[in-house]
Amino acid sequence: MFHKEGYKIILITLFISIVGALAIDRWIEIVWLRYLLMLTILVFVILILQFFRNPKRNFQLDDNQVLSPVDGKVVVIEEVFEKEFFNEKRLQVSVFMSPINVHVTRYPVGGEVVYSKYHPGKYLVAWHPKSSEENERTTVVVLSKKFGAVLHRQIAGALAKRIVNYANKGQKVEQTTDSGFIKFGSRVDVFLPLDATIQVTLNQKVKGGVSVLATS
């Protein structure tokens, strides 16, 4: 199963790959070179299909838990001053996604969207300390029953050139449903109340909509 954001790119990739394969078969006479080019095309197609995959998962919704919004590796767990929306200290948990991770962004909590904003910006590597303030990004805040306002921020990486955000202010959303999509490498920061109990550790691998980041 593939995400809707990938349909156009997948079709274009398949078309170009088929044309390329036919051209190679017709014009390249050196056998080893022909096989090498064919293999390169096949690997490219597989990578594109893997990037836009959207596997079905058995989600367990729980208002007492904040779930990871994305697949990836936990790279930051720290107390920070969040100045875009809260203007106060929060617990930040950041998940880095490599190009081979599933890139669907899911709501970590359910509730009402009270803030949603897109910020144009740079394309620093996603683990750069200033990427959360200077890179292209979207900030979404959901008002939940147990945790109050929970902010998650999609951050473009060095390869990502487009962030898709589905959140609209005033919208009622359910935990684990699609919040957005980041194309080709990125990071997502989650900002939690200081009294939230963190359930992950640095460098831990997490799954979007499945792994628990924190509990109340």
The DSSP-derived string for 12-33 is HHHHHHHHHHHHHHHH---HHH
211 catalytically annotated: no
Cα gap 124→132, rounded to integer Å? 10
Please state, in angstroms and rounded to a whole number, the distance separating the CA atoms of residues 135 and 113: 23
CB contact set of 47 (below 8 Å; sequence gap of 6+): 99, 100
Are the beta carbons of 162 and 9 closer than 8 angstroms? Answer: no
Cβ atoms within 10 A of the Cβ of 156, count? 27
For 168, the 3-state DSSP assignment is coil
Among the listed residues 68, 116, 179, 186, the single catalytic one is 186
Catalytic residue ranges: 186
